[in-house]
Amino acid sequence: MSVVDRKPTFVAAVLLVALASACEAEVPEPEAETDVEYMPPVIEVGDPVVQAFRQDVPNQLDVLLVIDDSCSMEPYQEVLGNSFEPFVSWFERSDIDYAISTTTTSFAAWDGSKRIMPPITPTTPDAAEEFRRQINVGTNGSGYEVGIESAVEAWLDLDERGVARPDAELAIVFVSDEQDSSPKPVADYLNTFGELIGWRGRFNASAFVAVDLDQCDELAGSRAGTRYVEFVDYTDGVTVDLCEAYAGGDAAAFRALVPEVSRASARLKREFRLSAIPVLDTLTVEVDDAPQRCGEAWTLRHDEADDGWFVRFRETAVPLDGSRIVIRFEAGDDPPVGGCPNDGG
């Protein structure tokens, strides 16, 4: 897989469970997230479960792109720079007022590298060409890549100059084929953004970074960006593996994955966690009261890392802003076999 999409440990999910007879179970109304700790009810094997979720995207979104400007980055700047349409695809589909600012991983490394491009907005003339120009930041920057530190300093600069909008949520996107060398632990930077911007979905991060170095023949000298991945994991973003996505210089394959970052930055969820192990043949999914066919719109996924079960929508079937997703199933005991009811594997 080229895209790593993990769930955060601190971001609250909109999750309500109704336990009643299968024919009488009422669909719970999704609620806004609050600071009140939610204690889910105990679910027994055989209980009917109903979960309701609602997609909710921000009205305004400030996007901060942090591009590695070291000597090995030219091909990746070029292919991302030619991907403006897929990069803003979910912003436009969701009618989000976006502002994309670009800086480099050298921002916090060299005083002479403190540059942030003017934001690209829905009204920017020839926006695709301007995006291409801004992403191609060059390859004469510092070989000491401090992407996360640069993100903090660049955002503070944007805030001080009044470019960062007070009512906008923030999406950070890192692009690098090297490890982040910022001096502090990743948790410190997460806490910094949490204090500056606020938790509860006010910011998230995604990344195009090296992950599987066994596939990095074309990326001479690359190092796995584990610190970027750690940052992304805690903010409900996605990681696109440069090693696999751009293996052999396949620009089309790379661009095909760019909408995943657009979707995550727009806060549109593709996966919805189940509150219990489902009996697969009882699992149904509706979006705005319309039944969704398993295999065509969604499939069941098991996350071995935390032993969680998720309904995962296909990229082309992700519910849009304002959609109401209702998932029904009977709580089971044995792990399901296969990703859809009646497929047996």
At residue 195, the pLDDT reads 87
- 39 has a pLDDT exceeding 50: yes
Task: Report yes or no: 271 and 226 within 8 Å, Cβ to Cβ.
Answer: no
Can you list the domains of the chain with their CATH numbers? 14-55+269-330 (no CATH), 60-265 (3.40.50.410)
Task: Report yes or no: 80 and 55 within 8 Å, Cβ to Cβ.
Answer: no
At residue 288, the pLDDT reads 97
Q: What is the dihedral of CA 58, 64, 68, 69, to 10 degrees?
A: 150
Percent of the chain with pLDDT over 90: 60
What is the C-alpha to C-alpha distance for residues 340 and 318, in angstroms, rounded to an integer?
17
Q: 165-219 pLDDT, tens per residue? A: 989 999 999 999 889 999 999 999 999 998 888 765 588 999 999 887 776 655 4
Residue 231 tokens read as 């940052």
At residue 30, the pLDDT reads 57
Distant-in-sequence contacts of 153-156, Cβ < 8 A, 24+ apart: 153/107, 153/108, 153/114, 154/64, 154/66, 154/101, 154/103, 154/107, 154/116, 155/64, 155/193, 155/196, 156/196
Mean pLDDT of the chain: 84
At residue 244, the pLDDT reads 81
**Residues linked to residue 299 through DSSP beta bridges, in sequence order:** 312
DSSP 266: T
pLDDT (average), residues 241-254: 82
The confidence band for 249, taking pLDDT boundaries of 50, 70 and 90, is confident
At residue 140, the pLDDT reads 82
What is the C-alpha to C-alpha distance for residues 53 and 325, in angstroms, rounded to an integer?
5
- 32 has a pLDDT exceeding 70: no
Percent of the chain with pLDDT over 70: 82
At residue 75, the pLDDT reads 87
